Structure 1
Amino acid sequence: MVFQGDGPLDTGDVSGGGGGGGGVGRIALGGGAGLIITLVALFFGIDPGSITGGSGLGGDTVSSQNASELDDHIQSCTIEKANTDAICRIVATTNSLDKVWSAEMRGYSPPRTKIFTGSVSTGCGAATSATGPFYCPADQTVYIDPSFFAQLEQMGGSNGPLAQEYVVAHEYGHHVQNLTGALQKGNRMGSQGPLSGSVRVELQADCLAGVWAYHADKGPDAMLEPLTQQQIASVIQTAKAIGDDTIQGANSNPEGWTHGSAQQRSRWFTIGYRSGDPRQCDTFATNDL
């Protein structure tokens, strides 16, 4: 178990959506309107055509459900169910993230989260499961299809509970950046290259996910049990699996990077996790990424 205790979860900002087919529209690359691109898997930074489909919901294996069924599933979630059910794990993680960021950031307001299957309409346009998890600044909403977790494992990442929670925490990091103006700053610095705004935004989101992990198991009201080194290792494995150089292989060209290398992604998560201090996540203050 990762989440401790039992009882209902706050589902006020979480809803279900999708369930149908549909094409990919223009969606947001975490970094604001100027970084809107087409046919890019946002969390990976790769062509979604290279990701096999799949769907699913209940338990750690998920099956296609419509929006109404998803909403019913979400409303049934408890802290205890979050340890065996992927959808409830997403909901519990949003509860933990809101608790941590409300304490760590003055003026924090929570995003909405939409759990979907198939395709979904967003404030940034239409998207499908192939898009991967993403944050849309236009409607301040995190979008996640739980089938992504199995796809992530196929890419060499971990499908362990904390690795899944890291995915949610990374997208919440983009919301924090939207509130602080970091998304807008990154947007002005370009969308490709080793020192681009996009890479800085993505690495900072990894670091902010680490900050959450540092605080999530501390204090009398902590939702997570004490994290183990094995669980942290599962996140590092996942961060490395989605580095630009890992995905692109031997012919990787840093000038085309959008998310950062395997080493950089794991390094910045670790900086956040070891320090627990969002101020240590200023990827815009250094060229030593």
Structure 2
Amino acid sequence: MRLDDFDPNINVGDQRGESGGDGFGGGGGGGLLFGLLPLIGSRFGCGGIVVVLIVLAVFGGLGNIGSMLGSGGGSQTSVPTQQSARKSEATTACRVDASSTAACNAFSSADKTWAAIFQREGKTFEAPSLQFYSRSGRSGCGAAQSAMGPFYCPTDRGIYLDTSFFQELQNRFHAGGDFAQDYVIAHEFGHHIQNLLGVSDQVSNAQRQASETQGNALSVRLELQADCYAGVWAANNRDRLDPGDIQEGLTAAHAIGDDTLQQESQGRVVPDSFTHGTSAERMKWLKRGLDSGDPAQCDTFSGAI
């Protein structure tokens, strides 16, 4: 996919080279997702993570990391200085390696695309941040661990990424290509859109009244909608697509379906434990977004999926 270079004004943080998530052992991160972390660690999306983290946030289990995003001490710093610092941090973080640059390019594109969509629909858009870390880090939802895969934290509105996942996507899941990587970022950005629209809160509220199986089913619908939103982003940048890009995305969606992952990891499939959707469902909703380019076509909560 032929994306423009990232806008240096995007909100990017970089924890690589820091000591990691010390002091956050009980705050989030591992131990979540109804005991399904081994499965979640093998895919991106982490809708189970986003849903459970929202629930934990409601019950006061998550902290606030506003200072981590560069907002602390704002009263003592001029706006131009803040903007210059953000621009410098984004440029440095995004140029660490090719994977970082690719992630920033996709993030920047999604940022511009969704800002334009929200403007057309008369809605207020607020950009998330992209937070890089290596192996372990910190988030507003607790510890960030690379085993969790890329995830979105609704508490601080950050997309968290250990870029080593891109290698895993290609080597382990045989889902290579630049568009497969872009799909990862676009999917997580889709979770931010759900947060802005209030969908995430609605799901967490419903899950508090639901059984575990029902809660998992709601998580699946949340994840599939994020897949659809990823397709919407791509459709609105159709002129940037290269031949084969769509197939790369569909291959990635298939590789990280619950049924495929469970069959590979445990030799059997347990539908009641699905939190992201089957391979066929993930491909279906990604393609719906690609075909329509319309967020209104991404209603995974009405009717069958």
Sort the TM-score into its range (normalised by shorter chain).
0.7 to 0.9
Larger Rg computed on CA atoms: 2
Secondary structure (helix, strand or coil) at the match of 2:132 reads strand
Q: Could you list the per-position Cα deviations for residues 45-99 of structure 1 after superposition, in whole angstroms to 9, with x for gaps in the alignment?
A: 69xxxxxxxxxxxxxxxxxxxxxxxx97851588xx89x8110111111111111
Distance 2:140 2:34 in 1: 12
Instruction: Give the aligned residue type for 1:268.
Output: W
| Map 1:117-196 → 2, pairs under 5 A | 117-190=134-207, 192=213, 196=217
**1:92 counterpart (105, 108, 111):** 105
| Map 1:204-223 → 2, pairs under 5 A | 204-218=225-239
Instruction: Give the aligned residue type for 1:212.
Output: W
Query: Is the Cα contact below 8 Å between 2:3 and 2:109 reproduced in 1?
Result: no
Distance 1:208 1:44 in 2: 12
Query: Is the Cα contact below 8 Å between 2:14 and 2:133 reproduced in 1?
Result: yes
Q: From the two aligned structures, give the one with the greater helix fraction.
A: 2
Does the C-alpha gap of structure 1 residues 25 and 261 become closer, same or farther in structure 2, counting only changes over 3 Å? Answer: farther
| Map 1:18-33 → 2, pairs under 5 A | 18-19=16-17, 20=19, 25-27=26-28
Query: Is the Cα contact below 8 Å between 1:157 and 1:242 reproduced in 2?
Result: no
Does the C-alpha gap of structure 1 residues 122 and 21 become closer, same or farther in structure 2, counting only changes over 3 Å? Answer: closer
| CA root-mean-square deviation | 3.2
Percent of pairs identical after alignment? Answer: 37
Secondary structure (helix, strand or coil) at the match of 1:196 reads helix
Distance 1:195 1:36 in 2: 9
Distance 2:130 2:257 in 1: 25
Q: Could you list the per-position Cα deviations for residues 192-244 of structure 1 after superposition, in whole angstroms to 9, with x for gaps in the alignment?
A: 469711000000000000000001245xxxxxx3x134111001000000000
**1:202 counterpart (223, 226, 232):** 223
* TM-score, length of structure 2 as denominator length: 0.72
Query: Is the Cα contact below 8 Å between 1:162 and 1:231 reproduced in 2?
Result: yes
Query: Is the Cα contact below 8 Å between 2:8 and 2:90 reproduced in 1?
Result: no
Give the Å deviation of 1:253: 1.1
Secondary structure (helix, strand or coil) at the match of 2:244 reads helix
- Correspondence 1:266 to 2:283: yes
* TM-score, length of structure 1 as denominator length: 0.76
Secondary structure (helix, strand or coil) at the match of 1:15 reads strand
Return 272-281 or 112-121, whichever deviates more.
112-121
Does the C-alpha gap of structure 1 residues 215 and 235 become closer, same or farther in structure 2, counting only changes over 3 Å? Answer: same
Query: Is the Cα contact below 8 Å between 1:193 and 1:256 reproduced in 2?
Result: no
Distance 1:22 1:189 in 2: 31
Q: Structure 2 regions of 5+ residues with no counterpart?
A: 48-86
Secondary structure (helix, strand or coil) at the match of 2:15 reads strand
Which residue in the other structure is 1:237 paired with? 251
- Correspondence 1:75 to 2:91: yes
Give the Å deviation of 1:284: 0.7
Distance 1:246 1:108 in 2: 35
Query: Is the Cα contact below 8 Å between 1:16 and 1:116 reproduced in 2?
Result: yes
Secondary structure (helix, strand or coil) at the match of 1:258 reads coil
Query: Is the Cα contact below 8 Å between 2:227 and 2:282 reproduced in 1?
Result: yes
Q: Structure 1 regions of 5+ residues with no counterpart?
A: 47-70, 219-224
Does the C-alpha gap of structure 1 residues 44 and 201 become closer, same or farther in structure 2, counting only changes over 3 Å? Answer: closer
Give the Å deviation of 1:44: 6.2
